[in-house]
Amino acid sequence: MSESAGTQRAARKANNPEFQTHKVSPQAQAKMNEVTQWYDELLDNIKQHLPSGPQLNHVKSTLERACFYTIKGIAQQPQNQD
């Protein structure tokens, strides 16, 4: 693939809303940072009570997915877009 073709592909907006990105306002970025901190603290607390192993790995995956969708939801709100 040529460099110009890659540049053209990167500049194209996704047709499907599942894959669209959003430029967010500074206020929305602050919300996202706060949410990320909540999930990070929650995982730290869980790690104090759950030993390493498959259960902890499942918790990590679940929290990662939950954090992703929370942040995606914030970014998709029209009032949070820049």
Q: Which residue has the higher pLDDT, 22 or 30?
A: 30
Helix then strand then coil, in percent of the chain rounded to 5, is 75, 0, 25
Give pLDDT, residue 49: 96
Distance from C-alpha of 61 to C-alpha of 11, rounded to nearest angstrom: 31
More reliable by pLDDT, 23 or 56: 56
Is the pLDDT confidence value at 1 over 90? no
E-assigned strand segments in 4-75: none
> Coil, helix or strand for 12?
coil
